[in-house]
Structure 1
């Protein structure tokens, strides 16, 4: 058997840490090297115990998991961070993946799934809970490229249209600004609606804001 993967737990919930500790200590493939209750001291603990993988909660009282993920990777870019959270929103998943996490698991995951995620993360594979397999989260995890969050499958013209919609321009005005037929603009908007699973211009703007394509 190879060397066990060194794991650090970062979670402010005593019960969660106890549950993770209970099954991590019974699997020879991993070794629990430390625990933290907040992201504020995570770098200090990492320096002391040198984890290979950090299981990172997202919602913590002082320094949350997204900022703590950045700090861990600033300490050692080869360390792997797997978010382990109750939060199921697409935007939260994207934010922590953009911060550098290589996986996103829900706390409802089975112990075997968490162990497998730790082992996969250690070998630089990317993991995501089945419950978070929306297209954009899946593509973000699979690619490892933060830029995919901004493109989200849009071509250059569609991206321009989204940005112009956010300024309040009508379809006619957008067509004139881009020198396209108005019918082309309408067709592109229908495709954006279908791709993003939204139904109107307001929802397009809200989704674009979430993804960082536009700023209101």
Structure 2
């Protein structure tokens, strides 16, 4: 069972999301929060698998709440809920450690698929969308960290391909290796760079001017 925490300052929105999530046999809402501070508290108390996090909220916004959840080493993975006019906030949320984002008017089936995908270790933020966000609000590239030098040539190449938005199967075809091998390389690459998932790898590559 995938345990979900809903975070939004609009009770009506939370009610709708609860109905959607609880309608699925493999999902359940374990709690709700109406602001970022409550979200952090409830995440640490309930230990959900997924936190669906709104951005604009009172007391503490979703970005700062995400950063606190990640800093607390919670196993919960955060999916940011946003609107079209919050592109910069989403980019900041991804840098803060969010595992992806959804538009608040996303189709219900996409919401459900996102929850399941993120829980399974995949990322739902399209690399192309992440590139758009980072390009639109680009900062000067930071100097590459020493950890980058620990990557093998194959791992470095796979990092670049992940940053370009290629799936594991596409990378496998490009590198003439099995998809299982690609998964192993991706896992090692993330571990060496201290990254949680492919979303952070995309952000990392763009932040350090690799793509």
Question: For this structure pair, what is the TM-score category when the shorter chain's length is used for normalisation?
Answer: 0.5 to 0.7
C-alpha distance in structure 1 between counterparts of 2:43 and 2:129, whole Å: 30
Go from structure 1 to structure 2 and tell me whether the alpha carbon gap of 1:149 and 1:88 turns closer, same or farther (over 3 Å shift): farther
Once structures 1 and 2 are overlaid, which stretch shifts more, 98-107 or 41-50?
41-50
Offset of residue 44 of structure 1: 2.0
Q: Deviations over 1:92-140 (max 9, x none)?
A: 221110000011100110111111111111122111279x826344949
C-alpha distance in structure 1 between counterparts of 2:10 and 2:38, whole Å: 16
Residue from 147, 170, 191 that aligns with 2:204: 147
Go from structure 1 to structure 2 and tell me whether the alpha carbon gap of 1:82 and 1:61 turns closer, same or farther (over 3 Å shift): same
Q: Which runs of 5+ in 2 are unaligned?
A: 135-162, 166-196
Offset of residue 50 of structure 1: 1.5
Query: How many equivalent residue pairs?
Result: 150
**Contact conserved, 2:54 with 2:81, CA < 8 A, in 1?**
yes
Once structures 1 and 2 are overlaid, which stretch shifts more, 101-110 or 143-152?
143-152
Larger Rg: 1
Give the 5 Å matches for 1:67-82: 67-82=64-79
The residue that corresponds to 2:111 in the other structure is: 114
1:105 and 2:102 equivalent?
yes
The residue that corresponds to 1:60 in the other structure is: 57
Query: Deviation above 6 Å: which 4+ runs of structure 1?
Result: none
The residue that corresponds to 1:133 in the other structure is: 129
C-alpha distance in structure 1 between counterparts of 2:132 and 2:209, whole Å: 7
Q: Which runs of 5+ in 1 are unaligned?
A: 155-216
User: TM-score scaled to structure 1, two decimals?
Assistant: 0.62
C-alpha distance in structure 1 between counterparts of 2:13 and 2:115, whole Å: 16
Go from structure 1 to structure 2 and tell me whether the alpha carbon gap of 1:120 and 1:105 turns closer, same or farther (over 3 Å shift): same
User: TM-score scaled to structure 2, two decimals?
Assistant: 0.63
C-alpha distance in structure 1 between counterparts of 2:51 and 2:88, whole Å: 21
Go from structure 1 to structure 2 and tell me whether the alpha carbon gap of 1:74 and 1:115 turns closer, same or farther (over 3 Å shift): same
Residue from 32, 43, 46 that aligns with 1:49: 46
SS at match of 2:28: strand
**Contact conserved, 1:54 with 1:82, CA < 8 A, in 2?**
yes
Go from structure 1 to structure 2 and tell me whether the alpha carbon gap of 1:152 and 1:114 turns closer, same or farther (over 3 Å shift): farther
Offset of residue 76 of structure 1: 3.2
**Contact conserved, 1:82 with 1:101, CA < 8 A, in 2?**
yes
